[in-house]
Chains A and B, each alone.
Chain A
Amino acid sequence: MKTFLLAACLALAVPTAWADPPKGYPFVDYNAGLAAAKASGKPVFLYFGRYGCAWCDHTNKKTFSDAGLKALYSEHYELVYADAESGKRITLPTGERITEAELGVRLKAFATPLFVYLTPQGEKIVQVPGFKTVRDFRDYDRYVRGGHYKTQTLLEFLGSKS
């Protein structure tokens, strides 16, 4: 019986081990996250991932495992996860209904993971593709929540701080 329960638990655990949102973060779907952002006034951090994506897995393990980063992003952002190949329906701020996969078309996504910062109203602030470090995400946080995006590109901001 014990063996059976263990096997059942492992079987149920398998899908979450294959590059979905990082463990322990309060990620929600796009519609819920955008609605929460409107209510809270927090910016949105959109994690555009892909089921089975190796670089997403790497980012989850290397970067999002950092307890400080987890606290920072969980407190200050509405966290949204979208699957690059999913047919799940979402509604854009324009009122257009598309799928999560189609969101990749609109974002001109060429690789996953893709990280997108949005205003509480759902307007795009900046997007950054690929593996990023804890320090990168702390820099992006300063850029976004510090309002620097209103006057500088991300590259200008990163150049000026070094």
Chain B
Amino acid sequence: MHSRSNAAPLALKLAAIGGLAFLHLPILLIFAYAFTTEEKSYQWPPPGFTTQWFGIAWNRPDVWEALSLSVKVGSIATVIALVLGTLCAAAVSRTKFFGREAISLLVILPIALPGIITGIALRSAFSLLDIPFSMWTIILGHATFCVVVVYNNAVARFRRTSGSLIEASYDLGADGFQTFRYVILPNIATALLAGGMLAFALSFDEVIVTTFTGGQQSTLPIWMLEELIRPRQRPVTNVVAMVVVLVTFLPILAAYYLTRDGDQIAGSGK
């Protein structure tokens, strides 16, 4: 770069904006399809627009059942992941011990390996142990790969939290639990909240592991998958897809705003 100007070359700008457009336009298209009057095909442009499908989707009990199972599974898996992920992050970031690297690897493994392997491994373990498929087997699978999201967020925050804060707390006479309650927890709370939201989003969306660990019950993604393979009422699927997009955007935005200001937390300058 011969010139010191801070303007990007036009080609780069176009490629970058084009790339972002490629990422977003397909999602926007769903919004148009939610209002189409066409029932039998994916015809574009839509022959007409209507809002009737929202009412029809609202009155479908199978959608509500799938949604409520997804919320239940996501909440419980998130709680388990929060506990396990925070414990692991605290242990890894506070102390140096033998096998520390191996633990990071162990936590990352469930999402580093293809989901189908996690799924089939859990399924064959369940069948070996004669565990019947239920909501709990789904939760078991989800919690396993949700740990890593909480862990990553918590480890990053622990690294930024100064150890001297904790020492100061001990020096001032607080015991371990008081230090945790009044010093550590406030420092890591937003990171945990962000991690928890991302874990929930991850569980809410998971389909590959769930196809192996779920029995008769269907979570929302499983419901969606069945509609994709054997469409029954395409416009209802369009509406559900649009609502899912809107609902998943909220925790992502919230998690972003929660972790954005992390650098300004007290004691971060070591």
Please say whether chains A and B are actual partners in one complex. Answer: no
**B interface residue numbers (CB < 8 A to A):** none
